[in-house]
Structure 1
């Protein structure tokens, strides 16, 4: 491309006369009926130390790709991604098909205290994305049952029954207790036995056929009959292990609210950045889980809850000691050292625990 003075060349955009009438045009490198010479991309140099650059003409394309509409990851997201990539437990969870690295926290707690046995009933509060429920299903099979409760609409792991809703709602807690009153609800069905003396003519167990045909109305009637035949208090206390990995949800700082549906678990698993708020929120959720455990946990049952350490956790520990034979404060190896999270493990519920002593004001 011929060298030229672009400022003077732009004066001749409207007309391109011949050099016969205007011989001076040849001094600017312009030829008859040709477009004026413009600076090449290689000749553009960016000013040093400036935060903004002059805009280009609408008739020229920018030499740099446009970033309009491109969303860049925040620094916290990049840190989280880099940390996950280098985390041995995150890699192991992915290889083993676990929902998250949190599964190893429960596995390490169980390795020390032996909380689970086959056939147990387990309630997992705040179960999303389901890693703790996966562990519970594996350790209570066969004939165990696991009920997960969460605010988020999450596809449960295989073998897990779920209730979606706010656990702090009395209606949701009533629905959970209604589910638990039927000792067979949520358990894997017994396999069909052929050739038995109790089978019908077509070789199928008549009891299984009746169970299959039971509809919603019949199920409600069945639950009502159970309540009349047995003591309600005995039916309510049917849980062997209560797990609480709940975290107080915090509002998104930007974007539409549907953003919380696109990646809800990352929003709920992260702390808010305010240590006092995280601690206070976890204390409220732990006390709600403790109240539920007081109502539903069997004598000899166990309790595990996550909390963020702070000034109020001593009072919570005293409440737990009024309900359980032993209480331990745990920080599993798979829990990151920089995190303030820890776990209370209540071992063997006491047969006689005074409600006022458990829920006394600190």
Structure 2
């Protein structure tokens, strides 16, 4: 919020008083949420998370989502990315979100409560989509420990698992977008993607906090291809 004085306008950030049982890290997180313009904007515009604006920006720049596409959202909770995808692909498309957590229903999205690493997951999702996916997207982040190297390895491991999953269900020419962190091990991940996709790039949406090492990897033009036949669930 702002207040005007005789000398002009100055910004006043909301501060959170330290609660008896609140840790310093949780206090800082809460302060950041209260002062985050994307959090406020998400509430105003009816999106389930501020992360929705990251996908919106990526799509506006690279025209990733199109009418009629089949889309898989890995680690979909609370559903912000699925919301955007459903609006973009429209009634002719199909969006399936998968997560270990239950997710409140969303128009145009079908959710499944399942670990995407489960052996049955690729077949089930292809069946739910009615065929191979055009896009696999992931805004997943591993639980943090506070140790930068450990946290980086965890998020990169999750991204690698998402890539492996994408190979299983993407149609030829399909796309993959996922959260990664800067930190020294992403070069191998990029090399793997370049073998499977025609074009691979890093993206840093403005909705990603400037003090975060968070990046997104966007890979398009998948050279492989999941089977065209729809398996039984």
Is the Cα–Cα contact under 8 Å of residues 300 and 348 in structure 1 kept in the other structure?
yes
Aligned counterparts of 2:155 and 2:31: Cα–Cα separation in 1: 27
Q: Which has the larger radius of gyration?
A: 1
Larger proportion of strand: 2
The aligned residue for residue 23 of structure 2 is 74
Query: Of 145, 150, 153, which residue of structure 2 is paired with 1:277?
Result: 150
What TM-score does the superposition give when structure 1 sets the normalisation length? Answer: 0.54
Spell out the pairing of 1:267-306 with structure 2 (5 A cutoff).
271-306=144-179
The aligned residue for residue 343 of structure 1 is 216
Spell out the pairing of 1:181-330 with structure 2 (5 A cutoff).
183=130, 235=131, 238-249=132-143, 271-330=144-203
The aligned residue for residue 82 of structure 2 is 133
RMSD between superposed Cα atoms in Å: 1.8
Aligned counterparts of 2:24 and 2:213: Cα–Cα separation in 1: 21
Quick one: structure 1 residues 116 and 274, their matched pair in 2 at CA, closer, same or farther if it must change by over 3 Å? same
SS for the counterpart of 2:120 is helix
SS for the counterpart of 1:336 is coil
Is the Cα–Cα contact under 8 Å of residues 203 and 216 in structure 2 kept in the other structure?
yes
Spell out the pairing of 1:31-46 with structure 2 (5 A cutoff).
none
Report how far residue 248 of structure 1 moved.
Answer: 2.3
Q: Confirm whether residue 179 of structure 1 aligns to residue 128 of structure 2.
A: yes
Unaligned runs of 5+ in 2: 1-18, 226-233
Runs of 4+ in 1 over 6 A off after TM superposition: none
Unaligned runs of 5+ in 1: 1-69, 184-234, 250-270, 353-362
Aligned counterparts of 2:84 and 2:201: Cα–Cα separation in 1: 21
Aligned counterparts of 1:171 and 1:351: Cα–Cα separation in 2: 20
Question: CA offsets per residue over residues 124-158 of structure 1, 9 Å max, x none?
Answer: 00111110000000101022110001111221322
Report how far residue 296 of structure 1 moved.
Answer: 1.3
Is the Cα–Cα contact under 8 Å of residues 126 and 133 in structure 2 kept in the other structure?
no
Report how far residue 172 of structure 1 moved.
Answer: 3.1
What TM-score does the superposition give when structure 2 sets the normalisation length? Answer: 0.83
Structure scoring higher RCO (CA < 8 A, sep ≥ 6) equals 2
The aligned residue for residue 61 of structure 2 is 112
Number of equivalenced pairs: 207
Report how far residue 179 of structure 1 moved.
Answer: 2.6
